[in-house]
Structure 1
Amino acid sequence: MKERDGTRPSTLPGYRKLIENHIRPAVGKLALDKLTPTVIRRLLAEKTDAGLSATTVRHIHGLIRNSLGDAEREELVHRNAAKSVRPPAMRQVERRALDVEEAKRLLDALRGHRLEALYVCALTVGLRRGNCSGLAWADIDFDAGTLTVRQTVQRAEGRLQLVAPKTERSRRTVPVPAQNLALFRAHRYAHVLPEIERAAVDQAAKHLFG
């Protein structure tokens, strides 16, 4: 069902792994009405004691809760036993952003790199890696000085895929600094236009010489 409910392709393999490695071996043989809060609570405690991260254990709990929710809607169980079980609390991790001097050093190190425009976009505009990688030239409005996030790149089952942003808030138009616009133009002239010209020459040669 997850393939049809909008779950992102990169998420599905992780769900399958959790089910096969952790959920099915522990409770797969139990009848749904035997899946009590005590059983679920014990399962989560065992996974925590085994060294799984709080994030992974919360995902296990979420999969069980969602599955029982589906069973409840189908009237296969009278209640969702996972709703009364608290998953482990998430530990807050402080994330540190680059300070001004570190950002300047990074920009200096990137100067002249083939992907300088991409890295500078991530640094100055604040886009995630997948959003930056998913940008197309049609997404950049050089006249207005903006770019629009319409898609993102994700790796799923060993290959990269373009997918829609996860939420409507992720689909947005943001201003782009003039420095970044200049880098986009330079990248296009240096890398994209020569490829287009070579393709045109190759096409003309095929037309003339077969």
Structure 2
Amino acid sequence: MLLQEFWDDRYVGYCERLREVTRVGYESAWRCHVEPVFGSMELADIGVDDIELWLSGFAGPGAARKAWAVLRQMLRKAAKWGYLEVDVTRLEIDLPVKPLYVPRLLTIGQTRRQLQGFYGHALEAWLIVDSCLALRPEEGYGVDWADIDMRSGITHIQRGVQWVAGHEVVVPPKTELSDRFLPLPRFAVRRSATAGRAVSSVT
């Protein structure tokens, strides 16, 4: 079976159960990087040397690793479903070296100045909650007033909001542990409530 046939006949159907943002990413990697090189090859003919030569041609290690993740997933599914006898992804494959990534974090002083800069802004309450709870971007976008217990400050993180392929998508938490309860400090509860009432009175 050709990899293109496997994609069309089996793998696309499997992707339907994935989160939309994941599915869109897989489709992009397939269309841009995997299909042009491996689409016309038989599953059993894709070898380690072919994969390593392909990976060496990427301009950056990030794109190479994302494309490899899609090809690896396809070949592993093909082996699991009986379309491939030898799973080459289980062999040692040299991947492009990723540069060390050290995220830049705001200091306490910088966070304070950021919050002061948003004082009275329509997004102030959201920024307070997002900053104090260190949420993933999609989690921050998904917080609703009903998720916050204004007496205890306990906030239920139970959904995310993503912008995918030109439209908004509400999604469940990324993992089982991502559905969680987090405490807001008292100043955040008091100021969020005040800011929220101010915005409501204007709108």
TM above 0.5, yes or no, is yes
Describe how 1:44-123 pairs up with structure 2 within 5 A: 44-47=55-58, 51=59, 53-84=60-91, 85-123=93-131
Query: Is the 2:44–2:86 contact (alpha carbons within 8 Å) kept by the matching residues of 1?
Result: no
1:3 aligns with 2:16: yes
CA contact (8 A) 1:151 1:162 kept: yes
* 1:194 shift after superposition: 7.1
Q: What's the % identity of the aligned pairs?
A: 25
Report deviation, 1:22.
1.0
Which one of 195, 198, 201 corresponds to residue 190 of structure 1? 198
Tell me which structure has the larger Cα radius of gyration: 1
Aligned partners of 1:90 and 1:179: how far apart in 2?
41
5+ long unaligned stretches in structure 2: 1-13
Correspondence for 2:9? none
Question: Hey, what does 1:32 align to over in structure 2?
Answer: 43
Distance 1:30 1:46 in 2: 18
Which of 131, 141, 162 lines up with 1:154 in the alignment? 162
Deviation at 1:111, TM superposition (A): 0.9
Instruction: Give the secondary-structure state (helix, strand or coil) at the position aligned to 2:109.
Output: helix
Can you give the 5+ residue segments of structure 1 that lack an aligned partner in the other structure?
Answer: 196-210
- Displacement of 1:160: 1.2
TM-score (norm 2): 0.86
Q: 1-side partners of 2:180 and 2:201: how far apart?
A: 27
Which protein, 1 or 2, shows the higher relative CO under an 8 Å CA cutoff with sep ≥ 6? Answer: 2
TM-score by length of 1: 0.83
Number of residues of Structure 1 aligned to a counterpart in Structure 2: 189
Cα distance in 2 for partners of 1:22, 1:128 equals 28
